[in-house]
Amino acid sequence: MELLRELPSSLKPPPPPAQGALAARLRRELLPRANHFLSLCNVGAPEAVSPRHTPGNVQPSFSEHKKRVFGLVPVPGAGRFTGYYSSFEAEFYTISDDRFWGAGNKRFAGDITVESDPVKLGALTYCRCTDAAYVFWEALSQLYADDAEIERVAWVYCRVQPRIVFVREAAMYNETRYLHDILIIHTSSGAKFVFDPTGYQFGFGDYLHEWGQYKRECVDGNLWRECMPRGWIKAFNAETSAEYRLMQAARLEEIDKVKKQSSKVVSARARALVE
């Protein structure tokens, strides 16, 4: 049983879609990749998502630990994350195991695409941003290496302004701020575009954004920086992690697609020269 609801209309709207011919081209090229990544995120035990109270609605009967987490007790350093989330008027959701109704090897039933329920998309992409950057950074760097309109693809991490906040049931009342990994596509004209297939977890509503708009509406101040590709770092024992193997296979598949596409382009050019 998937306990879902539509995002409230009072929620801050996502940034407007990136505009222009190049943005339209990038959207066409990145759409199948975004959808494929969402399908990878949907692998696993069935889950349910339900709305929950915000930190401002914490009841006095909660334990002392929970009070301290939410800053209701004057403990040094406590409450900083509560203020962080409440300042954006974020909506809170809990992800839990679907113990009674779930069946199969999908977290949510059916096919998942960028057009799916925004709450499902948020739950699926929760804490998966490093995975996405790992899967796509090298492939996109190769794809656009000889593109006259594109200079490079940068791996960037940043603090964000969340519209929605997800947390797993086991981690409730222990929320923290997360660094969010994105890919920035630098163009020869100076424009920059953000490929962010996991921004749904924060309510950003799309997989492609114009960087200036994204920085103003989604990034928390100037808290962002370009980083060296960090690889896949979440698994303590990555070599034996099933999730790691899934992402590694996806990464190699994306690179292989680019190589095959490049070979076709070279062959077509060679045939054109002969003719």
Rounded alpha-carbon distances, angstroms, from residue 26 to 32, 167, 271 = 11, 31, 27
CA angle, residues 199, 219, 201, in degrees to nearest 5: 20
CA angle, residues 159, 163, 168, in degrees to nearest 5: 80
Which of the residue ranges 61-65, 95-99, 145-149 would you say has the lowest mean pLDDT? 61-65
Residue 240 structure tokens: 């034996």
Q: Which residue has the higher pLDDT, 56 or 123?
A: 123
Maximum C-alpha span of the chain:
81
Quick one: pLDDT at residue 57? 41
Residue 148 lies in a domain: yes
Rounded to two decimals, the pTM is 0.79
Residue 62 lies in a domain: no
Residue 193 lies in a domain: yes
List b or e across 10-33, with b for residues whose CB sees 16 or more CB atoms inside 10 angstroms: ebeebbeebeeebbeebbeebeeb
Residue 270 lies in a domain: no
pLDDT digits (tens, 9 = 90+) for 227-257: 766 654 544 445 457 778 888 899 999 999 9
Residue type, 84: Y
Cβ atoms of 160 and 202 closer than 8 Å: yes
Cβ atoms of 180 and 129 closer than 8 Å: yes
Who's near 223: CB < 8 A, 6+ residues apart? Answer: 158, 159
136: confidence class by pLDDT, cuts 50, 70, 90:
very high
Domain that holds residue 207: 21-54+90-257
Residue 4 lies in a domain: no
Number of domains in the chain: 1
Q: What is the DSSP string of 79-96?
A: THHHHHHHTTT-EEEEEE
List b or e across 77-86, with b for residues whose CB sees 16 or more CB atoms inside 10 angstroms: eebebbebbe
Residue 186 lies in a domain: yes
> Could you tell me how far CA 183 lies from the centroid of its own chain?
11
Residue 194 lies in a domain: yes
Please say if the pLDDT value at position 204 is more than 50.
yes
pLDDT digits (tens, 9 = 90+) for 166-203: 888 876 666 667 789 999 999 999 999 999 999 999 99
Bridge pairing between strands 192-195 and 208-210: antiparallel
Residue 5 lies in a domain: no
Instruction: Please compute the mean of the pLDDT values over residues 1-10 and round it to a whole number.
Output: 52
Cα pseudo-dihedral 31, 207, 125, 145, rounded to 10: 70
Of 61, 6, 58, the closest CA to residue 172 belongs to 58
Q: Which residue has the higher pLDDT, 55 or 11?
A: 11
Of 185, 206, 186, the closest CA to residue 197 belongs to 206
Of 173, 174, 175, 138, the closest CA to residue 155 belongs to 138
